[in-house]
A = this chain, B = another copy of it.
Amino acid sequence: MTRLVKNAAGRMVPVEINGQAAVPYQGVGKYRPEGRKRGAPIRSSADYPADGDKIVANIKDALINAGLRDGMTISTHHHLRNGDHVANAVFAAAAELGVKNLRWFPSASFPCHAGMIDLMESGVIHHIEGSMNGPLGDYCTRGKMKGMAVLRSHGGRYQAIQDGDVKVDIAVIAAPTADPFGNATGDRGPTACGLLGFALADSEYADHVIAVTDNLVPFPCVPWQIQGNNVDQVVVMDSIGDASKIVSGTTQITKSPDRLLIAELTARFCDEAGIVQDGFSFQAGAGGTALSFALFLRDMMRERNIKARFVRGGSTQYLVDMLEEGLTDYILDGQTFDLEGVRSMRENPGHLDTSPFTSYNWHGKGNFASMLDAVVLGATEVDTHFNANVVTHSDGRLLHGIGGWQNCLASKCTILPIPSFRDRIPVVVDEVTTLCGPGELVDVIVTERGIAINPLRRDLLEKLRGSSLPLRTLTEIKSEVEDICGGPADKPHLGKKVVAAIKWVDGTVIDSVRQVGD
């Protein structure tokens, strides 16, 4: 049985994860790392082809050349989201080669990777460390995975690789366009996905790096979002993914009157809080409410002739319109959410490629996230102390990844616009099922029943004094919602087994996820 201790947030967390010691969460900004970043192996150009041609016949050969063996860690990335063909091809080849007990370290996994369940059953994959959207998360919460899952934010994944917490033996990077030297870009080619930032850490620190493309171009591939100087081998396959599934299904503005109200209240809050002014910055996700918020903000900016210095992507057509209309100098993009985002990244000099290193790495010399004037995020649950959950549902099932969510909490004003209940289950609860973000970093929660400002933000409370906005406490909102839903959310039926650890941005363990059922 995994030994658990209570961390600084009062959560019970494992002190060892898959045989490796783990540090319990110590509080925001409290844990101070020591030592040096992990260095990748020193190589010699004498061992690489002088003409720069690193192409090998197929993934299987590449894995053999890379020295694949039992127990290794293989990383992949989710730039192609639910349309990815590469991760499945890599593990199918590994299965053919007869290796066992691999650790799969994806930046995120999607329903298209459900076939990995068979490979976990057959012992090819020991466990997954990375976001699991859908079936793999469900498999994990049913206690079926041999090892413990580890969920990290985008920045936390970079930190873990940089610091050597996770040693990647072989990184496989799906590249929409690449040259034979391994320079690669995501902004063009038949399977263009925009950018490849999630693979940056792996390309820099992994022992061996394989780029897989379906669009080979003569050297140099420009831009080189991934540098061929970090790549060992290049594989060309027919198709690295299904471009039509790269686009996230959620990139439509909401039509729900409640959600539209939440979006409008969020925009009005930003206005009254004095955030919307020339040279400001904001980040909003690609969910329906966040997109609607961005449109309300856009109208405000147009009307008052206000220009943002930068907006952060996940980019969509809405942000691209703002850039092309001159409402912002830059989009600093971490991930394009639709094909307009991809086009813009390719065409607009002001649409910039960022990475978890620039944007989110807590173990760096600062990062972009804390410079944002406002960030608008989602949550599956919040509690009356402003703590928030983004990975599990109220039934305890682990169905979502953390993404950049934890990292974004560092912004100057973190706002969670969320419905107060979903499917007649309250979203505002006494205690979140899984703690992903400490309440002290959540400044404002906007629901269709009112806006709650974190009491720690006296400055905001002061600024909004006398506002016509429906300012309320979370306790008030919670009690109103429970009246509607017929009481608080049922507690999930959880077993004793810890199936997943949730890391904080500094690599410490902020919470654990238990098996659902016995």
Contact A222 B352 (CB under 8 A): yes
- Which of B50, B227, B363 sits near A42, CB closer than 8 Å? B363
A362 contacts the other chain (Cβ, under 8 Å)? yes
**Known pairs A37-B39, A357-B229; A218 contacts B363 (CB<8 A):** no
| Residues in B neighbouring A326, C-beta threshold 8 A | none
- Give the shortest distance, in Å, between A269 (CB) and chain B (any CB): 21
Segment with Cβ contacts to B, from A28-36, A250-258, A442-450, A471-479 = A28-36
A39 to B332, CA, bound (A): 27
Given A36-B42, A54-B366, A229-B357, 11 more contacts at CB 8 Å?
A: A37-B42, A44-B506, A45-B361, A50-B371, A209-B365, A220-B368, A227-B357, A228-B366, A229-B367, A232-B365, A349-B349
Q: Mark A33-53, 1 if CB is under 8 A from B, else 0.
A: 111111111111111111110
Report the nearest B residue to A155, measured CB to CB. Answer: B45
Contact with B along A219-253 (1 / 0, CB 8 A): 11010100111111000000000000000000000
Contact partner of A40 (CB less than 8 A), chosen from B36, B47, B181, B367, is B36
A-B contact pairs, 28 of them (CB 8 A): A30-B46, A31-B44, A32-B46, A33-B43, A34-B42, A35-B41, A36-B39, A36-B40, A37-B42, A42-B162, A43-B365, A45-B362, A45-B364, A45-B367, A45-B410, A50-B370, A50-B371, A50-B410, A54-B365, A181-B366, A220-B309, A222-B350, A227-B358, A229-B357, A229-B361, A229-B364, A230-B364, A231-B365
Residues of B within 8 A of A42 (CB): 33-37, 162-163, 363
Kindly list chain B residues whose C-beta atoms are within 8 Å of the C-beta of A363: 42-45
**A190 sits at the interface (CB 8 A):** no
Chain A, residues 340-381, CB within 8 Å of chain B (1/0): the string is 000000000110100001100111111110110000000000
The answer for the CA separation of A29 and B47 in the assembled complex, in Å, is 9
Across the interface, A220 reaches (CB within 8 A) one of B31, B43, B164, B352, namely B352
Please measure, in the bound complex, the distance between the C-alpha atom of A362 and the C-alpha atom of B361, giving whole angstroms: 29
Write the chain B residue with the least CB distance to A46: B29
A90-119, CB < 8 A from B: none
Question: Across the interface, do B36 and A41 meet the contact criterion of CB distance under 8 Å?
Answer: yes
Please tell me the number of chain A residues within 8 Å of chain B, measured between CB atoms: 65
A373 to chain B, nearest CB (A): 10
Q: Which residues of B contact A358 (CB under 8 A)?
A: 224, 227, 229
Q: What per-residue 1/0 map shows which CB atoms of A18-36 lie under 8 Å from chain B?
A: 0000000000011111111
Query: Are B220 and A332 closer than 8 Å at their CB atoms?
Result: yes
Among B39, B182, B222, B352, point to the contact of A330 (Cβ < 8 A).
Answer: B222
Choose from B30, B39, B218, B330 the contact partner of A38 (Cβ within 8 Å). Answer: B39
Which A residues between 191 and 240 are near B, CB-CB below 8 angstroms? 209, 218-220, 222, 224, 227-232
Q: Nearest 9 A-B pairs (CB), nearest first?
A: A37-B39, A36-B39, A48-B366, A29-B46, A50-B370, A33-B42, A52-B371, A39-B39, A229-B364
User: Once bound together, how far apart are the Cα atoms of A40 and B29, in whole Å?
Assistant: 20
Q: Which of A30, A38, A220 counts the most chain B CB atoms within 10 A? A: A220
Instruction: Give the distance in Å from the alpha carbon of A46 to the alpha carbon of B49 in the complex.
Output: 44
Q: Mark A295-310, 1 if CB is under 8 A from B, else 0.
A: 0000000000000011
Q: How far is the CA of A218 from the CA of B278 in the complex (A)?
A: 12
A182 and B371 CA atoms in complex are apart in Å by: 13
Q: Are B45 and A365 in contact (CB under 8 A)?
A: yes
